Structures are given as C-alpha cells and as structure tokens.
Structure 1
Amino acid sequence: MHRNKEVHTFLLSKARQLTDEWYESLDKSATSGVYSSTDPKVIEKLKKQNFDFHGVLCNVFAEDRETFSKNIDEWVLNLANDKEHLNTPTHHILKEFMRVRNQYLDFIKEFADSHSDDGIFNQFNLWSKVIIEAFDRVMLRFVELQSEVVEQQLQNQQEIINELSSPVISLNAETALLPLVGNIDPSRAELILENALEQCVDMEVSQLFIDLSGVVLIDTMVAHQIFQLIDALQLIGVKPILSGLRPEIAQTAVQLGLNFEHLTITSTLSQALTIKNNEI
C-alpha cells in the first residue's frame, strides 16, 4: 500500500522549503518566459503556483487514486491556462517539473534514512516509484491540456481573423461594400456567406458592392459559394454588384455554369461606384 500518513505529513512540512530551494536554484539566465521574469508580481505568482502544487502532489500518499487525479488535473489546467506559462517554451516547463521531481526523491530518501525499520528499503523503492509515476502523469496531462488550450486559442483567433477579413462596410444608408482579400477556403467562404447576409439585413442596405480584386485564386467549391451569396442577396432584396473579377475566377465560374445574366459586373471597384453615382 503506497499511502502513508507519515510520508504525507513529512513531505507537506517541506512544501515551503521545496518552493524556496527550487526558485533559488532556478537558472534564470538559461530559461525564458515565466522563469526569467523580473516582475515581482509574476515571481510571486510563480512561487505560489509551485507551493500550491506541493499541497496537491503530497496527497498522492493520502488520497485515493481517483481523488488525487481529479485534484492534479485541476491544478494542471490552471497552469495550462496561465498566460505566463503559455508564453514559456514547453521544454523549459518540463525541465522544471523534472527538477522538482528530483527534489521529492531526495526528500523521500531523507525520510527513509531517518527510519531504520525492517523493510524500509522496499518501502523507499515503492515511494520513489509513486513519485515518479505521479510526476509522469502531471507532465503528460500538462502537455495534453496546454495543447488543447493553444488549439482553442488558435481556433478563436482564426474565427476573429475570418470575421474581420470579410466585413460589410456601410457606404451610406442604402449601400455597403464587401471587400474580399487573400485566400478563401471553403470554411471561410461559408462564413462570408453567413456574415454578409446577416450584416446586410441588420444594416438594411439595398445594394452591396462585392470586390474580388484582392482575391488571387479560388477553387470551384469556393466560387460556387460566392455565387450562392449573390443569389441569396437577391432573394432578400439586396442588389449585388461584382467588381475585380479576375480572369481565372471568371473562367471557374463559367465552367460551373453560373449565370451572369442579371448580375452587374465591373472591372474595378471605382467603376462600380461610378455606376451607383450615375444612377443617383
């Protein structure tokens, strides 16, 4: 049985010493991110995170496996979401976990050396194995959870970029402009369709200029979605005027059999705006 009240109490009593010795031995010049910070608030928070970790980790000798794993995951998730640790190379973080693990192994040896009970050697090996397995779990869960956090952040950033890269810009009470720039993949094209329709309804525009001069290349699926947008705009009473249609895109549209019959198309946006001014 690896649970042991004496070992738990002994390690818990060393928590402050563990934190102080760890930070003092930290080579600030050989690390980056949170470990090399000179900001007093960052340093204080880092030490608290380390100290709190000991309060959780020591319980490997006091709690059942399920409870211990749950509490460890909560601590790891907080660390994985921490801004300073997100800006720290993962290999530096794992290195510090391994240094702290060595601290624990040294204290386990100190505890074992202070006892001369029969079988203490076997107990020492068991306790050391428990510590190593606990740290292996912590490091694995940290990498897993931080990867999830980073992936979610990237996804959120991409959604923001997509939204900002397809804004409907109001020109006056009745007209608006949708300038499209850069590469357009199917997911972005779908987002453009949804956002443009919603924004046109919210802005109550009757005419939308769609400028494609900033789009270099699109595939057949994307071209089809853009012309779906044009059809949808007409269904909700918004007149689309297309400008900047490159030859490659026009060729793709023709190959798809898309109908240009009732669509106003100009070479440039300035020509499209001139048409509107002349109508006024």
Structure 2
Amino acid sequence: MKNNSELYQFFLDKTWDLTEAWYKSLDKSDPSGVYASTDPDVINATKQQNYAFHKHISEIFIIDEEEFIARLETWILEVTQDEQHLKTPIHFILREFFRTQEQYLDLMDDFANLHTTYTQQEIDSWKRRIITTMDKVMIWFVEENHHFSMKRLQSQQEMIKELSSPIIVIGKKTALLPLIGDIDTSRAKYIIETSLYQCANKSISLLYIDLSGVVMIDTMVAHQLFQLIEALNLIGVKSILSGIRPEIAQTAIQLGLDFSKLTIKSSLQLVKDE
C-alpha cells in the first residue's frame, strides 16, 4: 500500500474535532445504553474511546492491513468488554459506526479540496479504503461483542445453577438441598453431579431434599431424582424427601412413580421438630 503521510497527518490533526462534532450531533434520546448516559465520567470515557478510534483509523494511510489489525485489537477488546457498551443495543453501536464513517468520507472531501494535486482516482481509492476498513471493523466488533456476551451469559447461567442447587450444611453431618423452580433434564443431571460431590466433600451422612419450591416434575426428572437418592446411598448418605406439593404428588400417581421406598416428610418443620 502506498504510504501517504500527508493524508495521515491531515486526519490525525482532525481527530479531536471529529470526536467533539460526533458527540455534539449524537442522538442522546436512546432509551438505554452508553449514548444516553448523563454521567460525566461515562461521557468522558466514551469520548476518549471515540478519539482513540480516530487515531487508529488515521493509520490506515501509512501502515498495511495486518499491522493495523494488530494495533486495533486492544481497542476492540477494551470497548466490546466495556460495561457501558455491553448495556447498549448493538444496532445503536452500528449506527454510530456508520455515522463515523460518514465523518471520514466528508473529511476526505475536505482533504481533496485543499490538496488539488491528487487525482480523483486517488481520492476514490482512499474512500474505498475507509469503507472497506470500517466494514471489517464493524464485523469484528459485533463478533467480539457477541463472543464476550455469550461467555458472560454462560458464566451467569453456571452461577445460577450453583445457587439453584446448593448443599446447605445444617448440622455436623447433616445438610439440606432446597430445590426451587422448574427442573428439566439438564438441571437434574447437574443437581446429581454437584450433590454427590458436595456431600462427599463435606462428609455428609444425612441429606434432606426439600421439594416445596418445585411446582412441576415429569417422569424423566423423577427418575433422575431417584438416581440421585440411590447414588447418595451408595456413598453412605441417607436421603429424606420433604415438601412434596399436592400437584407433584398427583402427577407422581398419574405417572405411576413409586415413592414407597423413600423416607418422606411433609415439611421441613416436621424434620426440625424431630
């Protein structure tokens, strides 16, 4: 690629002016996200991120694409993982990328008017370079934003799973497993794995499994619950079920599930009173 230091310097000199003009014309009526913030710290951080981006884009006229991508990577990762941008709908962010692209194309026209020695072909070539670069940057940004969002969502889901099936120690070798909400096959499998591990790790010999927070259960989940109780028995842990709601009891009868071999209490209060 032809090195054009004059064009680079022209863009570089305009970077902060571009940022100020961009923010001044910004639609601040978005219902949520970084562009709607009135927090001075958020506004300043957003301007600095925009300014840093302009400085990177200026370099496309003096370095090759591979080096440009390497230099821009830190900015991409920083902004896509920025909490304020994660709260911003992606179509708002893309809208600002396109507005910024228009700024660059207008600036290119200003350059052409001031430097008439350059041919229209050269100017058009630089404009195509801007558009191509912005297209790649936007795709890259969306991919990284999606990747980080999914990674964070997975982490949150794992935390929810852990919180939704905790083993609570209530005595020297006694613990409680309170189950709340819907239990599907995936969650039932997770409960089995974590309960066995935690009971063994905490030297539990008696586990109360409370179902008062569960409103629905199917045959597959019920069988997995039985598997949990059998597996606990194999590692020396006795299980007691409590809090089976009337609707679950009715469903169990309709499904032909056999609870006769299990120790069952109507509520945790009865367990406590004993």
Asked whether the 8 Å contact 1:73–1:141 carries over to 2, the reply is no
Q: After the TM superposition, which residues 199-214 of structure 1 pair with which residues of structure 2 at under 5 Å, given as runs?
A: 199-214=198-213
Whole-angstrom CA distance in 1 between matches of 2:80 and 2:217: 38
Correspondence for 2:142: 143
Q: Structure 1 31/163 Cα, relative in aligned 2: closer, same or farther at 3 Å?
A: closer
Whole-angstrom CA distance in 1 between matches of 2:210 and 2:32: 45
What letter is aligned with 1:59?
Answer: E
Whole-angstrom CA distance in 1 between matches of 2:234 and 2:255: 23
What is the CA-CA distance between 1:234 and the residue it aligns to? 1.0
Q: Structure 1 213/252 Cα, relative in aligned 2: closer, same or farther at 3 Å?
A: farther
Work out whether 1:190 is the aligned partner of 2:198. Answer: no
What is the CA-CA distance between 1:105 and the residue it aligns to? 0.6
Whole-angstrom CA distance in 2 between matches of 1:250 and 1:169: 30
Correspondence for 1:181: 180
Whole-angstrom CA distance in 1 between matches of 2:256 and 2:62: 69
**Which is worse superposed, 213-222 or 136-145?**
213-222
Work out whether 1:265 is the aligned partner of 2:260. Answer: no
Whole-angstrom CA distance in 2 between matches of 1:16 and 1:124: 23
Q: Structure 1 6/220 Cα, relative in aligned 2: closer, same or farther at 3 Å?
A: farther
Correspondence for 1:91: 91
1:44-96, Cα deviation, whole Å (9 max, x unpaired): 11111011111211222222222222333332221110011111222221111
| Structure 1 counterpart SS, 2:208 | strand
Whole-angstrom CA distance in 1 between matches of 2:141 and 2:173: 53
Whole-angstrom CA distance in 2 between matches of 1:145 and 1:59: 22
Q: After the TM superposition, which residues 37-186 of structure 1 pair with which residues of structure 2 at under 5 Å, given as runs?
A: 37-117=37-117, 120-186=119-185
Q: After the TM superposition, which residues 238-253 of structure 1 pair with which residues of structure 2 at under 5 Å, given as runs?
A: 238-245=237-244, 246-247=248-249, 248-249=251-252, 252=255
Aligned length: 270
TM-score, length-scaled by structure 1: 0.87
1:101-124, Cα deviation, whole Å (9 max, x unpaired): 111111111111222236x10111
Asked whether the 8 Å contact 1:207–1:240 carries over to 2, the reply is yes
Gaps of 5+ in 2: none
Identity %, equivalent residues: 48
Whole-angstrom CA distance in 2 between matches of 1:159 and 1:183: 16
What is the CA-CA distance between 1:201 and the residue it aligns to? 2.5
Asked whether the 8 Å contact 1:170–1:177 carries over to 2, the reply is yes
Whole-angstrom CA distance in 2 between matches of 1:32 and 1:269: 45
Correspondence for 2:9: 9
Q: Structure 1 231/140 Cα, relative in aligned 2: closer, same or farther at 3 Å?
A: same
Whole-angstrom CA distance in 1 between matches of 2:65 and 2:17: 26
Whole-angstrom CA distance in 2 between matches of 1:19 and 1:89: 21
What is the CA-CA distance between 1:206 and the residue it aligns to? 1.4
| Structure 2 counterpart SS, 1:28 | coil
Correspondence for 1:226: 225
Work out whether 1:20 is the aligned partner of 2:20. Answer: yes
Gaps of 5+ in 1: none
What letter is aligned with 2:133?
Answer: A
Whole-angstrom CA distance in 1 between matches of 2:30 and 2:165: 44
Q: Structure 1 194/76 Cα, relative in aligned 2: closer, same or farther at 3 Å?
A: same
What letter is aligned with 1:98?
Answer: F
What letter is aligned with 1:71?
Answer: R
Asked whether the 8 Å contact 1:2–1:126 carries over to 2, the reply is no
